[in-house]
Each structure stands twice: as C-alpha cells, then as structure tokens.
C-alpha cells in the first residue's frame, strides 16, 4: 500500500467525487482507508441514560483504496506514486513532478 495515515487524498468516485481529505486510518487487511469528512453516513444513536435524547451522528466509513488518489506534497496535484530505493530505505516518488513524499 502506498497510502499512509495523515496523507492528503482526493476521492475519485461516489457522492464526494473531487473532494479532498486527510486519511485518519488505513486498514491494510481489507484494503480500505477512513478519510476525515468524506464518505459520511448517518448513525442513529439511542439515549444512554434516562431523560437523555437520542441523536443522529455522521461518521466516516472506510472506502476502498482504489477509489482515492494521493495528492503530492510538492506539486499539490493528484498523481500516482512510484517507489525509489536508496540502500535499505524506500521512498515514495510523485510520477508527475518527481518529488519525494
């Protein structure tokens, strides 16, 4: 996976197509990521205590990684990432501007 937590991404499909957000969590086993403020669903929550009101909460749901594109930190545009090795270190490289991410 070439996407990590705190990366900025752009949505490619769905109701939030074209919007950008920050990755909160990456789920590598399922190939999904949770993005802040995107792919929100309404959740009805029951009252916890007597006299308290129930409420409707918006929560971000995981989205498949194939449906997001990483935004380069240097050129600030959505682009594909490649990998470059220097010794034992591996760096992500933007295919558009060749900058390291």
pLDDT at 96: 85
| pLDDT beneath 70, residues of the chain | 1
pLDDT at 48: 87
Residue written as tokens 């009101």?
Answer: 53
pLDDT above 90: percentage of residues in the chain? 66
pLDDT at 99: 75
Contact 72, 101 (CB under 8 A): yes
* CA pair distance 99, 43, nearest whole angstrom: 40
pLDDT at 45: 92
pLDDT at 1: 61
Contact 38, 59 (CB under 8 A): no
* CA pair distance 66, 20, nearest whole angstrom: 15
């Amino acid at each position: 996976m070439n996407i990590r937590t705190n990366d900025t991404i752009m949505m490619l499909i769905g109701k939030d197509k074209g919007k950008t957000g920050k990755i909160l969590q990456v789920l590598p086993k399922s190939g999904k990521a949770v993005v802040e403020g995107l792919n929100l669903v309404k959740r009805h929550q029951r009252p916890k205590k007597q006299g308290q009101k129930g409420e409707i909460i918006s929560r971000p749901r995981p989205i498949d990684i194939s449906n997001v594109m990483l935004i380069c930190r240097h050129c600030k545009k959505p682009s594909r990432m490649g990998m470059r090795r220097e010794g034992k270190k591996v760096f992500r490289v933007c295919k558009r501007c060749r900058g390291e991410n």
